[in-house]
Amino acid sequence: MSMNIEDLARANVRALTPYQSARRLGGNGDVWLNANEYPLPVPFELSQQTLNRYPECQPKVVIARYAAYAGLAPEQVLVSRGADEGIELLMRAFCEPGKDAILFCPPTYGMYSVSAETIGIEYRTVEALPDWQLNLPAIADQLEGVKLVYMCSPNNPTGNLINRDDIRALLEMTAGKALVVADEAYIEFCPEATLAGWLQDYPHLVVLRTLSKAFALAGLRCGFTLANKPVIDLLMKVIAPYPLATPVADVAGQALSEEGVALMRQHVAELNANRDWLSAQLQQTAGVEQVFPSETNYILARFTDSPRVFKTLWDQGIILRDQNKNRGLAGCLRISIGTRDECERLIAALQALSVEQA
């Protein structure tokens, strides 16, 4: 008896296009500038020898240290398997499949739509304005039935901050109707822009954070949801029993120590300096039409012939992130900030390519 296993799957999963992460896209490079990672390993070592025991659901040391780092109470912090799990936990806790919706403003992070499709929740999009700020009137028109509004600031992949007055306006228009979820994966590169201090004024504000970017721990898969206690209590009902493996909690605790936070800030200063250097160099490079300002560890740039640039560099082992399929980003490539040597190799390759084209 033959059976098509795919026929047993949910219809929305059969139709789903999975998120194309940097690792799924592959490549054989030695200059990886496509995943917004820190380019060098960090010096943490495992110290826990209790792998025979289940870990704490919410490791006390990790929660306490992150709360202190973020300037919040421990009851306002939830730790999960990356911020991606936080994105999904909010949908599972607040959205009824087939009834409720989420909303976000492309171009932005792709996992909002993928998570919604996976769970079976409608997602609505309100395209950002030409300067990549919120289209508040259009958002207001789409809010009926929306439970979650996701807003990435600094935004991925554009690198810009969302206007704070507009964020306040969004919080006012959603009060009593929906949660506003501020994805701050890149906030360490512009810490003055965080909304964590706004939680006391807005009970429906949620902030997502991660150790993957500035803390240089993308391989750890450790993220945080910051919110007021009623929101955290609801998320605790739907989170996995043991979301953080013991080695993950061990390293996360070290990264959030005073020494770990100081190391992170040193890395941020280095990357920001490299970003400024790379931005200036790109603006002087033939074939680069526009370099967009960035408050992150990556730069978005528009090229005259981005497919050729992407493929030529790919073949040389310099891996960038193609943004051509994102709404409004035709001709754009996203470039993670690497070491100064990696940035110099990129510029040299682009200059050589421009000479060939001349």
Dist CA 57 CA 89 (whole Å): 15
Neighbours of 345 (CB within 10 A): 19
Q: pTM of the entire structure?
A: 0.94
On whether the CB atoms of residues 104 and 125 are closer than 8 A, the answer is yes
Q: What is the pLDDT of residue 28?
A: 74
Sign of CA dihedral 330, 334, 340, 343: negative
Dist CA 156 CA 172 (whole Å): 24
208 is written with which tokens? 């997502």
pLDDT, tens digit (0-9, with 9 covering 90-100), for 92-140: 999 999 999 999 999 999 999 999 999 999 999 999 999 999 999 999 9
On whether the CB atoms of residues 1 and 177 are closer than 8 A, the answer is no
Which residue's entry shows tokens 């300096």? 273
74 cis-preceded (ω within 30 degrees of 0): no
Structural fold of domain 5-39+260-353: Aspartate Aminotransferase, domain 1 (3.90.1150)
Dist CA 54 CA 42 (whole Å): 26
Positions of CATH 3.90.1150.10 in the chain: 5-39+260-353
Dist CA 289 CA 303 (whole Å): 5
Q: What is the pLDDT of residue 206?
A: 98
CATH class assigned to 60-257:
alpha beta
Q: What is the pLDDT of residue 130?
A: 95
Which residue's entry shows tokens 């919040």? 72
Neighbours of 108 (CB within 10 A): 23
In the chain, which stretches have pLDDT less than 70?
A: 1-2, 19-27, 355-358
On whether the CB atoms of residues 162 and 133 are closer than 8 A, the answer is yes
Residue 202 backbone phi and psi in degrees, to 5: -130, 100
Dist CA 77 CA 64 (whole Å): 9
On whether the CB atoms of residues 16 and 114 are closer than 8 A, the answer is yes
| Selection from 196, 213, 112, 107 nearest residue 160 by Cα | 107
Dist CA 318 CA 167 (whole Å): 37
Dist CA 84 CA 107 (whole Å): 18
Q: What is the DSSP string of 21-55?
A: -HHHH----SEE-SS---SS----------TTSPP
297: left (phi over 0), alpha (psi -120 to 50) or beta: alpha
Dist CA 97 CA 72 (whole Å): 32
Positions of CATH 3.40.640.10 in the chain: 60-257
pLDDT, tens digit (0-9, with 9 covering 90-100), for 298-309: 999 999 999 999
On whether the CB atoms of residues 90 and 213 are closer than 8 A, the answer is no
Neighbours of 353 (CB within 10 A): 20
**DSSP-H helix ranges across 32-163:** 60-70, 82-94, 111-119, 136-141
Helix (H) or strand (E) holding 280: helix 258-283
